[in-house]
Amino acid sequence: MPAQDPQRQIPLVASTSEGDIAGSEQLVNVFPEKSTGGKYPFTLKGTPGQAFFLELPTFPVKGIHFNKGRAFAVTPSKLYEIFANGTYVELGDVDFIGRVVMEDNGIQIVMVDGFKGYSWDAQTNIVSQLTGDGWYPAKTVTYQDGYFIFERKDTGQFFISDLLSVNFDPLDAATAEGQPDKLVAVLSDHREVFMFGTETIEVWYNSGAADFPFERNQGAFVEKGCAAPYSIAKKNNTIYFIGSDLMVYQMVGYTPVRISSHAVEEDLKDIELSDAFAYTYAEGGHLFYMMTLPARNKTWCFDISTGAWHLRRDYQFGRHRSNCHAFFDNKNLVGDFQSGRIYQLTQKYFSDDNEPLVREFILPTINNGREFLTMYSFELDMSSGIGLTYGQGSDPQAILNFSKDSGKTWSNDKFTSLGKIGEYLERVKWNRLGAARQFVIRIRISDPVPIDIGGAWVEIR
């Protein structure tokens, strides 16, 4: 019997699901943006591309840091200053094998990787290794009130530098001892230092005491630890991290609030998280928490502005190729995890360097209860006539596949045009898709064109 309403709108905004019987929804290199008016409450936008900025002679890029109008990049063997015109100059030698964390006090930049530490001095322009009594290997470093603060690797202790210095006093150390777990990272936020342990988090502050300036905030003990020290990042007046229970959290005051979906949490299980890392950045009114899991070869991105997760995927590598981030010269710069290339992350560029940036989204399952249905057409309501003047993308295409078995197998590719330049009335539509008890629709767009999708409609009977 024909459906009463043969046309049905399919929601484009959905949580990325677990790919089980409940649904296979997925957003890859697209994210929802709340609309301020018009036909739809949300639209789907394309994630930023990566435009080439410069290439360093050594690789990979382990860290980028911004300091008082200047930017610096570090590789396993060299520290460089990079300039807004895409050039660089070598500053000195380093020797890093682990992931690098960088911090500065306005005069010196300090870099640590869990094995060695180095500093660069703006006054002398010299790179020096951190040594001597009072210095210990540390994975992370933060800065507050003139002091560099480090966790002492594989212990429950942290230690600090002398004031506005990279010298160390062996007595300038303390223990986060609310619980006997090991410290894994330190981070200063709002003039408080969050001491992340494997099972708990303590908060310390600068009391100004003469013998040792930092004291524990007795009312801020968090019974939640951190499973991935490099996943800790801050944005929007709060801190984000992977918790010891393999959920992703946002700190609200001193309370960790779960923000991860079940799909994200499935990816955090049964893998090594010591090399998982995250950074935050802002663009176009969105605040993003980018979390890469090398063991899964996958990058999850949380849109702080909307509370939605999506995947960032590189055409060649699977995970997003960015390894580190800094905001410099009004640009979001990211370093490549395999080469010495640095890119500008921008929504005005529609490729990843010179490779395709493939947008993909899988829509919620279309069904008519337990009855068979015939899908006469599927249409995307989106900007059309967006073709480029020449070359790849001059006649941009969208590819549709459908699945009748919850995404286990897919149909052959079905192409339709997004409209050559100026063809603004082109309808992005596919006809005669067959009959089944249910359909799952997958759309892919790989041409270097802007993506702005408002809704999807199906005609079924």
pLDDT per residue over 360-375, tens digit each?
999 999 988 888 999 9
Could you give phi then psi for residue 268, rounded to 5 degrees? -85, -10
Q: How confident is the model at residue 35 (pLDDT cuts 50, 70, 90)?
A: confident
Q: For residue 401, what are its two tokens? A: 């596949």
d(CA 373, CA 24): 19
User: What are the tens digits of pLDDT across the range 207-253?
Assistant: 999 899 999 999 899 999 999 999 999 999 999 999 999 999 999 99
Higher-pLDDT residue of 381, 37: 381
Q: For residue 447, what are its two tokens? A: 């041409």
Listed in sequence order, the residues at least 6 apart from 256 whose beta carbon sits closer than 8 Å to its beta carbon are: 201, 222, 224, 243, 249, 250
Q: Is the Cβ–Cβ distance between 418 and 449 less than 8 Å?
A: yes
Q: For residue 305, what are its two tokens? A: 């502005």
Q: For residue 194, what are its two tokens? A: 């969050």
Three-state secondary-structure class, residue 328: strand
Please give the C-alpha separations between residue 91 and each of 64, 72, 108, 121, 125, in angstroms, as whole numbers. Answer: 14, 9, 13, 10, 7
d(CA 203, CA 222): 8
Which residues, listed in sequence order, are joined to residue 233 by a DSSP beta bridge? 240
Task: Output the pLDDT for position 18.
Answer: 64
The pLDDT of 9-38, averaged and rounded, is: 77
The pLDDT of 25-35, averaged and rounded, is: 93
Q: Is the Cβ–Cβ distance between 66 and 328 less than 8 Å?
A: yes
Task: Output the pLDDT for position 240.
Answer: 98
Q: For residue 129, what are its two tokens? A: 């290794």
Residue type, 177: E
Q: Residue 396: is the preceding peptide bond cis (ω within 30°)?
A: no
Residue indicated by tokens 């270097």:
448
Q: Is the Cβ–Cβ distance between 348 and 338 less than 8 Å?
A: no
Residue indicated by tokens 């500093």:
119
- Residue closest to 279 by CA, chosen among 330, 243, 227, 333: 333
Q: How confident is the model at residue 384 (pLDDT cuts 50, 70, 90)?
A: very high
User: What are the tens digits of pLDDT across the range 256-290?
Assistant: 999 999 999 999 999 999 999 999 999 999 999 99
Q: How confident is the model at residue 19 (pLDDT cuts 50, 70, 90)?
A: low
User: What are the tens digits of pLDDT across the range 47-78?
Assistant: 999 999 999 999 999 999 999 899 999 999 99
CA 114 to chain centre: 22
**For the chain, percent of residues with pLDDT exceeding 90:** 88
- Residue closest to 267 by CA, chosen among 239, 242, 233: 242
Three-state secondary-structure class, residue 433: strand
Residue type, 131: T
Q: Is the pTM of this model over 0.85?
A: yes
Average pLDDT over all residues of the chain: 94
Q: How confident is the model at residue 8 (pLDDT cuts 50, 70, 90)?
A: confident
Q: How confident is the model at residue 178 (pLDDT cuts 50, 70, 90)?
A: confident
User: What are the tens digits of pLDDT across the range 316-351?
Assistant: 999 999 999 999 999 999 999 999 999 999 999 999
Listed in sequence order, the residues at least 6 apart from 175 whose beta carbon sits closer than 8 Å to its beta carbon are: 156, 157, 158
- The burial class, CB within 10 Å (0-12 / 13-18 / 19+), for 389 is exposed
Task: Output the pLDDT for position 23.
Answer: 64
Rg (CA), the chain: 25
- Quick one: three-class SS letters along 126-144? EEEECCCCCCCCCCCEEEE
Residue 379 has pLDDT above 50, yes or no: yes
CA atoms within 13 A on the CB side of 8: 19
d(CA 335, CA 58): 12
The pLDDT of 299-312, averaged and rounded, is: 96
Concatenated DSSP letters of 64-124: EEEETTEEEEE-SSEEEEE-TTS-EEEEEE----S--EEEE-SSEEEEE-SS-EEEEETTT
Task: Output the pLDDT for position 5.
Answer: 57
Task: Output the pLDDT for position 22.
Answer: 56
Helix ranges restricted to H, 199-302: 262-268
d(CA 193, CA 205): 6
> Dihedral, CA atoms, 78, 81, 82, 87, nearest 10 degrees?
-80
Q: Is the Cβ–Cβ distance between 32 and 438 less than 8 Å?
A: no
- The burial class, CB within 10 Å (0-12 / 13-18 / 19+), for 14 is middle
Task: Output the pLDDT for position 370.
Answer: 82
The pLDDT of 80-98, averaged and rounded, is: 98
Task: Output the pLDDT for position 456.
Answer: 93
Task: Output the pLDDT for position 180.
Answer: 87
Task: Output the pLDDT for position 157.
Answer: 97
Q: How confident is the model at residue 2 (pLDDT cuts 50, 70, 90)?
A: very low
Q: Strands 30-34 and 42-46, how do they pair?
A: antiparallel
Q: For residue 133, what are its two tokens? A: 């009594």
Q: For residue 331, what are its two tokens? A: 């640009």
Q: Is the Cβ–Cβ distance between 180 and 170 less than 8 Å?
A: no
d(CA 2, CA 225): 56
